Amino acid sequence: MKLFVTPNSPYARIARIAATEAGLTERIEEIRVVNRSPDSPLLAYSPVCRVPTLVEGALVLGESRTICAYFDRVTGQARCFPEGRADDWQARALEGLVTGFLDGVAVWNRELRREPAARSAFLLEVELRRAERCLDRLEVLCPAAPAEWPWDFTRIALAATLGILDHGLPALDWRQGRPRLAAWFAAASARPAMRATAPERP
Ligand SMILES: N[C@@H](CCC(=O)N[C@@H](CS)C(=O)NCC(=O)O)C(=O)O
């Protein structure tokens, strides 16, 4: 399998963490690309050309969630999507909260990478408020004991999102007033798969 990634994409990190946790790294060739490059080798496989993209033979899978589901299928182990998840609507609601949070943070982070004069102050404000609301809700939902949350797609996506906050938006002191989430993220960050996929300093 080929897995197209960039080192700092939180979406690609979800797939990289899931692959590591599933013990699939030996079977995966990780290929680093540069987003939006006209020479990207990923263009040979995907017109969408986003990371992560997983290629296995004629199968070209985009979307971190789909790729994680594929890893569950390949290994025969329901790590990312535990049995019964499809009908567990509270769990699916939490997944939606986390992926919405991630999407907002990704927009915010992308906007901040633009030249200062080109940034939209409106967009930055909207995404700051969205992130703060999501963080506050997640603090309420987070268990006091970090181990009570399973390490599934939702939590992997949450860890990747908090990781990109630390990496790309360090001015936001998101841990302040959110001790449960901070403790959960500290525990999650100690996992070998998290350490192996940490965003790189520019
Ligand atoms: N919903 C997708 C989002 C993937 C995505 O937006 N990836 C970004 C990197 S963080 C990307 O490849 N951007 C390149 C582009 O937009 O051309 C997923 O879950 O995988």
The closest alpha carbon to 64, from 195, 191, 161, 139, belongs to 161
Residue 202 clears pLDDT 80, i.e. is over it: no
Q: In which band, very low, low, confident or very high, does the pLDDT at 171 lie, cut at 50, 70 and 90?
A: confident
pLDDT in tens, 7-42: 999 999 999 999 999 999 999 999 999 999 999 999
- Indicate if ligand 1 lies below 6 Å from the C-beta of 50: yes
Q: Cα(145) to centroid of ligand 1, in Å?
A: 32
Q: Please tell us whether the domain made up of 85-192 is placed in CATH 1.20.1440.130.
A: no
Structural domain spans, the chain: 2-75, 85-192
Q: What is the pTM of this model?
A: 0.97
> Positive or negative, the Cα torsion across 61, 127, 134, 202?
positive
Ligand 1: atom nearest CA of 36 is 17
Q: Cα(70) to centroid of ligand 1, in Å?
A: 18
Which of the listed residues 5, 46, 50 should we mutate to test ligand 1's pocket, taking the one with most ligand atoms within 8 A of CB?
A: 50
- Indicate if ligand 1 lies below 6 Å from the C-beta of 106: yes
Equal CATH topology for 2-75 and 85-192: no
Residue 4 has φ and ψ, to the nearest 5°, of -85, 130
pLDDT in tens, 42-79: 999 999 999 999 999 999 999 999 999 999 999 999 99
- pLDDT for 201 equals 79
Distance CA 72, CA 78 (A): 5
Distances (CA, A) of 94 to 45, 55, 187: 32, 29, 19
Q: Please tell us whether the domain made up of 2-75 is placed in CATH 1.10.1740.10.
A: no
